[in-house]
Amino acid sequence: MGSVEGNAVTSWQDDVFDALKEADVRQIGYVPDAGHATTIRRAETDPDIRAVVLTTEAEGVAMAAGAWLGGQRAALLMQSSGVGNTINMLSLVSNLRMPFLTVVTMRGEWGEFNPWQVPMGTGTPAVLEAMGVLVRHAEHPAEAGLVVRAAADLAFGSSVAVAVLLSQRLIGAKVFVQKEGAR
Amino acid sequence: MSLDRRAVMAELVRDAGDTLVVAGLGSTAYDLGAAGDRAENFYLWGAMGGAAMIGLGLALAQPSRRVLVATGDGEALMGMGALATIAACGAPNLAIAVLDNGRFGETGGQASHTGRGTDLCAVAAGCGWRATARARTMAEVAALRPRLRAEALFAVIAISPEEVERFLPPRDGTWLARRLRAALGIAPD
């Protein structure tokens, strides 16, 4: 994880976690991504949050529905490639008219070295919008926490589904090149 | 001898008290409705593969309540990864009962994977579930009932593939969700 623990990166990632914490998110389902590493690590060690590693992103949508039925707020952390795995499960958010918050790290949009990430990364906003999820973007480190905070207010305040897309420019394509090169 | 699905569900939810019951889409949702509608029931009409994870989210949010997920083999197969997720997470107040007819009953009765050799109890055990059980008789189903109210148990109940008359529970998800939340004393957002 050394490459994602640089000061600037850690700072905006901490802002994202803090925004979820301030929104009283108590369940965080995730499929790991380097861009979510700090949020996952802090969620795993926070006594008030249940961090749940998922086998597929669709599980996180269903878990969020169950959490809300039981009176807790949840969030789903995933990579853009996972958005496609959630499509039918997102029928829950409109049928239940439930709050849903997801934070998506983008691949395939800027400086991507793996062409297999490009199709789903390109389709991510349209797929989410087609399923009734409002899409918000964070492009710069200084705004990441603010965008997540605003998205949480919107989702939990009015029982709608909101996705925050953390741009690949924000996350830094270089990180992924280093990590994938090590595989 | 082959168990009648309506009789099985009626036994599973007999004297349900304040147990929260999530039913997977299709016949198990009809079975749960036919056993008697209650505010603590949540019927899925879609989101195939999601019943177990809805149960997990609910169980984590309501640790003092029992949660029972009742679903069919097809629905459980589509969400099979959830068995690993739930085992890894741990939820002592969540149990899952699969009504297994080895068929996709809603779509023409095509043989499912459990009808072709997949053993969901073995899958759950392999995923890390410590307590798994099978039932093939009503006596075994009756013995499962208290365990499903007390343990983190994954149970597979072999039922007859025979089709029964449809019973349609409420299908307005918005209403069902808010009815359940109200029963739990949760104020509107």
Which of B25, B45, B60 is the best residue to mutate to test the A interface, defined by the most A CB atoms within 10 Å of its own CB?
B60
Q: What is the pLDDT of residue A3?
A: 43
Condensed to tens digits (0 to 9), the pLDDT of residues B137-157 reads: 999 999 999 999 999 999 999
Q: What ipTM was estimated for this complex?
A: 0.97
**What domains can be seen in chain B, in order of their start residue?**
5-183 (3.40.50.970)
Q: What is the pLDDT of residue A176?
A: 47
Cα angle value B41/B45/B47 (rounded, 5°): 105
pLDDT cut 90: percent of chain A above it = 85
The answer to whether B45 touches B66, Cβ cutoff 8 Å, is no
Q: Do B51 and A62 touch (CB under 8 A)?
A: yes
Q: What is the DSSP string of A51-77?
A: EEE-SSHHHHHHHHHHHHHTT-EEEEE
CATH 3.40.50.970 for domain A2-181: yes
Half-sphere exposure of B115 (CA within 13 A, CB side): 17
The answer to whether B157 touches B69, Cβ cutoff 8 Å, is no
Condensed to tens digits (0 to 9), the pLDDT of residues B11-31 reads: 999 999 999 999 999 999 999
What is the average pLDDT value for chain B, to the nearest integer?
Answer: 97
What is the average pLDDT value for chain A, to the nearest integer?
Answer: 91
Half-sphere exposure of A62 (CA within 13 A, CB side): 33
Condensed to tens digits (0 to 9), the pLDDT of residues A6-24 reads: 455 569 999 999 999 999 9
The answer to whether A59 touches B82, Cβ cutoff 8 Å, is yes
Q: Do A69 and B180 touch (CB under 8 A)?
A: yes
Q: How far apart are the first and last CA of chain B?
A: 49
Give dist(CA B47, CA B43) in Å, integer. Answer: 11
* Chain B residue numbers touching A31 (CB-CB < 8 A): none
Condensed to tens digits (0 to 9), the pLDDT of residues A54-99 reads: 999 999 999 999 999 999 999 999 999 999 999 999 999 999 999 9
Residue A174 has pLDDT above 80, yes or no: no
Report residue B10 as tokens.
Answer: 């009626």
* A70 contacts chain B (CB < 8 A): yes
